[in-house]
Structure 1
Amino acid sequence: MDPFKNWQDWRKNLDAFFGENFLSSFENILLYNYFPQVNVYKTDNELIVLANIPGLNDINNVDVFIDYQSLELRGNVNLKYKGFKLIQDELFNGHFERKINLPYPVKEDRIDATYQNGLLIIHLHRLIPDDHRRHKIEIKKIEE
Structure 2
Amino acid sequence: MNQFDDWKKNMDRFFGNDFWGGFEGLVKPPLPQINLYQLDNELICIASVPGLEDLNKVDVYVHQSTLEIKGVIELHHLGGQQVKGEIVQGAFDRKVDLPYQVRSDKIDASYKNGLLVIHLHRLIHETDRKNRIKIVNLEE
Global fold match (TM > 0.5): yes
Q: With structure 1 as the length reference, what TM-score do the two structures score?
A: 0.67
Task: Please give the alpha-carbon distance, in whole angstroms, between the structure 2 residues aligned to 1:83 and 1:44.
Answer: 48
Task: Please give the alpha-carbon distance, in whole angstroms, between the structure 2 residues aligned to 1:76 and 1:55.
Answer: 10
Moved over 6 A (4+): none
Q: Which runs of 5+ in 2 are unaligned?
A: 1-24, 129-140
Residues 1:59 and 2:55 aligned together: yes
Superposition pairs of residues 15-34 of structure 1, within 5 angstroms? 30=26, 32-34=28-30
Matched-pair identity in % = 47
Q: Which one of the candidate residues 102, 122, 127 is aligned to 1:106?
A: 102
Superposition pairs of residues 1-144 of structure 1, within 5 angstroms? 30=26, 32-131=28-127
Deviation at 1:87, TM superposition (A): 2.1
Change (3 A) 1:72 1:86: same
Deviates more, 1:77-86 or 1:44-53: 77-86
Q: Which runs of 5+ in 1 are unaligned?
A: 1-28, 133-144
Task: Please give the alpha-carbon distance, in whole angstroms, between the structure 1 residues aligned to 2:118 and 2:111.
Answer: 9
Number of residue pairs matched by the alignment: 106
Larger Rg: 2
Task: Please give the alpha-carbon distance, in whole angstroms, between the structure 1 residues aligned to 2:127 and 2:32.
Answer: 37
Q: With structure 2 as the length reference, what TM-score do the two structures score?
A: 0.69
> Which structure's residues are more often helix, by fraction?
2
Task: Please give the alpha-carbon distance, in whole angstroms, between the structure 2 residues aligned to 1:92 and 1:107.
Answer: 31
Task: Please give the alpha-carbon distance, in whole angstroms, between the structure 2 residues aligned to 1:89 and 1:83.
Answer: 14
